[in-house]
Structure 1
Amino acid sequence: MLTVADVAAASTLGLSVAAGADGLQREVTSAHVSELTAPGDWLRGGELLMTVGLVLPMELAECRAYVSECAQAGVAALALGLGHGLPYKSCPEPLRIAAQECSVPLLTVPDETPFIAITKWVFAAIAAQERAHLQRAMEINRRLTAVATSSAPLAALLLAWSESSATPCVVCDSTGRLVGATPVTPADVVRRALQAASACPPDQTSWAMVGEFEVHTVGATVPLARIMLSADMDSTSRSSSTVLVSLIALDIERRDLSGRAERERRSQVFTQLLRPGIKRERAQQLAAAVGLDAAYYQVAVVAADDVDALAFRLQSGLESALLRVIGGTVEVAHPDLTALMDALQTHAAGLPSGIGAPTAPDTLAVSAMQARSLVPVSARLGRIVTASEGATVSLLLSLGSPDAVRGFADAVLAPMDQLDPRERLELVRTLEQWLRVNGAWDPAAARLSLHRNTVRNRIDRIAQLTGRRLDDGDDRMELWLALKARAALPQ
């Protein structure tokens, strides 16, 4: 960057600083001559504006107006020509005062220095700096290219970049997990970069500016990774950043391509394991072939419009999972229900999702069948539904619309709704636990930490309020369904 200080220090020009010394670090982008008293419309910012003050009234008010307009237009500095045959042989005091007040550097040009010499010097210096920047950028590019074929290209590229540029670079996968960062990058910078990546839409595949970072997405159709570069970089780093991003993207896409065959093989094994009636010995062989060593797995089925993008995100979040795409759904088998639920909530939020019961590898078809049947139920409820709750919820929903289900629950439980809230809560809790143990008094009393007679009294009270005979199976079922209805579709 060429500054006013650089121009003022040029020995061949012989310029002097008359005012505004605190602005000498302003960047000079060009040199321009104008004798206009209102030159603002002709300026673009960064100019070293030269004048002899031919028509400028050297009164303080006029000088203030002139310098203020130049400052608003973004001039880097003013240069006043002095000497023989010119209006002024020394710097007029009103102009010097105005420049000092506006913090605009004011240089004086001696008689022996023509304005054209300053113009040529400025543009020659800018060109020299640009050549130097280009040479440094080419050297950085050569270093980056040289390490791109190493055994660990990403780490080598980040190291080479850190040795050549002060611009931090952070790389994360499509799920937002940190993959790599330039050495000694502060932890808070890495954290902010990951936050910038997470702010991008999951399906974004273009460049974006997020806060203080440039976010470059790797992947033409499905995001594979994101590369975050601090936007505050010098011209040399900016010239080389495209090469860095391209080489990192090339390494990531190469690794994705090399892993695609393995993912396809695991998908085919998953398909075979889902065949009904597969023999246990064959299922064990297939499971061992892809490293499945857990005793039980549950299958999740998710419906989505963009199944390929969803499949990639789930695969990235569940590296040990079996996964396949069937029509408009993604099917996943995983041994850890908690991890599976977390992945669905993170990468398939709002999508209809069902999870079957845990089964051995030779009976995965059962879990998959359950999960598929729960997808419509999940669409109605707006949340993930598991097999442990699916049968009851499905039955409740089959009764009709949510309003009809709530109406049924209210009709059955309304007598208890009129009670004091504390008494109602005690009765509802007692009824639920008693029904869970199929009307057995002692187990219900143990669950509630009550005496069995207290449980009997409460159940008799419920029978009186609701008009249900609790020794009748149909009446018990109605109460149980009403409780489940309220749990599934709360007000």
Structure 2
Amino acid sequence: MLTVADVVGEPSLNLTVVTGPDQLMREVRSAHVCELTSPADWLRGGELLMTVGLLLPMRLADCRAYMSECAAAGVAALALGLGHGLPYHDCPEPLMRAAQESGVALLTVPDETPFIAVTKWVFETIAREESRELHTALEINRALTAVATSSAPLAALLGAWSQASDAACIVCDAAGQLVDATPGTAPGSVAAAMAAVGTARASGMAWSVVDGFEIHTVGSRIPLAHIALSAEMDLRSRAASSVLVSLIAVDIERRNLSGQVERQRRSQVFAQLLRPGIKRERAHQMLARVGLGPTPLQVATVAGEDAERLAFRLQAGLGDALVLVRGDTVEIAHADLDMLVETLRAHAEGLPCGIGAPVAAEALSVSAMQARSLLPVSARLGRIVTAGESETVSLLVSLGSPEVVRGFADAVLAPLDALDPRERLELLRTLDQWLRVNGAWDPAAARLSLHRNTVRNRIERIAALTGRRLDDGDERMELWLALKSRAAMS
């Protein structure tokens, strides 16, 4: 990086620092001559701005306005030319004062140093530095390429990059989970990179800059991984970063291709296990072929527009699962229900999803049938639905119109709702527990910690109030459905 101090330190230029000796470490990106009193439109920041002050009135107010505009435009320093035939032989006091107030270093250029000499030296020096940086970048590229064929390419690439650059590189899988990072990367930087990857995943863009990280997505149609690079890079790191990203992408693509055969084999095994009537011994043999034991599995079915991409995400989230694409649905079998639900919520949020009961390998077709039948229910409720949900009646009544369900419950239970709140609560609680034990007096009394006669008296009162004969199965079912309907709507 070329600084103002470097320019001042060049003996052939003979520049003098007038004000701002503490501002000499600013970067000089170019040298520019301008005699305009309002030069901002011609500046891009980092310029060593040279002028003879031909048009600038040397009044303090005008100098302040001029220097404020230069500071706002990001000039590295201002250089005033002095000498024979020029407006000034010495630096004017108003300009020095304005420069001190603006915080911009003010230099003077002697008569024997033409502006073109300063410009030529600055650009030649920048060109030499850029050449050195690009040469270093080529060396980095050679080092990266040399380790790309090692037994652990990703770790070797990240290690080589950390030795050559201060820019952190974090690699995440298709689900946004950490795969690896450059050695020594701070945990906070890793967390920030993963958050940036999450934002980029949601946008669906192949390349983006998010919160100080460049996010590169690997994979043309189906994202395989995401590479997060610190966006703040010097020239050599910037020049070498494209090679780093390409080599990491090649390694990820290679690993994906090598794993594709295994994924296809597991899918074929899953398809055979889903055939009804498969023998127990045969099913266990097939599970063993894909590294799974006789543990019961549950099948989940998810409906989505891009089933192939969805299947890849689910497989990445549950490496030991069996995954199969059937048209626009994905079926996935796994032994751990909690992990399965967590993965579905992470990668299939908002999609209809049903999960069958856990079964032995030979009965996977039953679990899959349950899962498929629950897809319409899941679409209606807007959540994952499992065959093992205990409140099946509540699940069914929740599918109806809320107004109709609530109206039915209120119509049946209205005589009880009209009672004193304390009595209503006692009767409803007694009715609920009595129905749960199928009208058995002693078990209901034990659940309620009451005498059986008390339970009987309360049930008779409920029958009288509601006009239901509780020894009739249909009328008892109406009360049960009313209680469940109200619970489902609460």
Shift of 1:135: 1.0
Report SS of the residue matched to 2:374.
helix
Q: Which residue of 2 aligns with 1:147?
A: 147
Q: Please give the residue correspondences for 1:231-380 in structure 2 after superposition, counting only pairs within 5 Å.
A: 231-380=231-380
Amino acid in structure 1 at the alignment position of 2:271: T
Task: Note if contact 2:45-2:74 (Cα within 8 Å) is conserved in structure 1.
Answer: yes
Q: Which whole-Å CA distance do the structure 2 matches of 1:113 and 1:330 have between them? A: 76
Report SS of the residue matched to 1:97.
helix
Q: 1:35 to 1:412 in 2, by over 3 A?
A: same
Shift of 1:24: 1.7
Q: Which whole-Å CA distance do the structure 2 matches of 1:462 and 1:199 have between them? A: 57
Amino acid in structure 2 at the alignment position of 1:263: R
Q: Please give the residue correspondences for 1:390-409 in structure 2 after superposition, counting only pairs within 5 Å.
A: 392=393, 395-396=396-397, 401-409=401-409
Task: Note if contact 2:311-2:324 (Cα within 8 Å) is conserved in structure 1.
Answer: yes
Aligned length: 489
Q: Which whole-Å CA distance do the structure 1 matches of 2:195 and 2:424 have between them? A: 47
Q: 1:259 to 1:456 in 2, by over 3 A?
A: farther
Are positions 1:22 and 2:18 aligned together? no
Q: Please give the residue correspondences for 1:381-396 in structure 2 after superposition, counting only pairs within 5 Å.
A: 381-389=381-389, 392=393, 395-396=396-397
Task: Note if contact 1:377-1:393 (Cα within 8 Å) is conserved in structure 2.
Answer: no
Unaligned runs of 5+ in 1: none
Name whichever of 240-249 and 445-454 sits farther off: 445-454
Q: 1:445 to 1:348 in 2, by over 3 A?
A: farther
Task: Note if contact 2:48-2:77 (Cα within 8 Å) is conserved in structure 1.
Answer: yes
Deviations 1:311-347 (A, max 9, x none): 1121111111111111121111111111111112222
Deviations 1:347-366 (A, max 9, x none): 22221111111111101111
Task: Note if contact 1:204-1:223 (Cα within 8 Å) is conserved in structure 2.
Answer: no
TM-score normalized with structure 2 length: 0.94
Report SS of the residue matched to 1:159.
helix
Q: 1:340 to 1:419 in 2, by over 3 A?
A: farther
Q: 1:414 to 1:207 in 2, by over 3 A?
A: farther
Q: Which whole-Å CA distance do the structure 1 matches of 2:154 and 2:392 have between them? A: 49
Task: Note if contact 2:354-2:375 (Cα within 8 Å) is conserved in structure 1.
Answer: yes
Q: Which residue of 2 aligns with 1:161?
A: 161
Are positions 1:91 and 2:95 aligned together? no
Shift of 1:144: 0.9
Shift of 1:367: 0.9
Percent identity over paired residues: 69
Q: Which whole-Å CA distance do the structure 2 matches of 1:59 and 1:271 have between them? A: 87
Report SS of the residue matched to 1:324.
strand
Q: Which whole-Å CA distance do the structure 1 matches of 2:181 and 2:175 have between them? A: 16
Amino acid in structure 1 at the alignment position of 2:175: T
Task: Note if contact 2:354-2:371 (Cα within 8 Å) is conserved in structure 1.
Answer: yes
Q: Which whole-Å CA distance do the structure 2 matches of 1:236 and 1:312 have between them? A: 36
Q: 1:307 to 1:258 in 2, by over 3 A?
A: same
Task: Note if contact 1:52-1:81 (Cα within 8 Å) is conserved in structure 2.
Answer: yes
Deviations 1:429-458 (A, max 9, x none): 443333232222333344445554444444
Q: Which whole-Å CA distance do the structure 1 matches of 2:450 and 2:143 have between them? A: 77
Task: Note if contact 2:284-2:294 (Cα within 8 Å) is conserved in structure 1.
Answer: no
Supply the RMSD in Å over aligned alpha carbons. 2.2
Are positions 1:49 and 2:49 aligned together? yes
Amino acid in structure 1 at the alignment position of 2:393: T
Q: Which whole-Å CA distance do the structure 2 matches of 1:344 and 1:210 have between them? A: 26
TM-score normalized with structure 1 length: 0.93
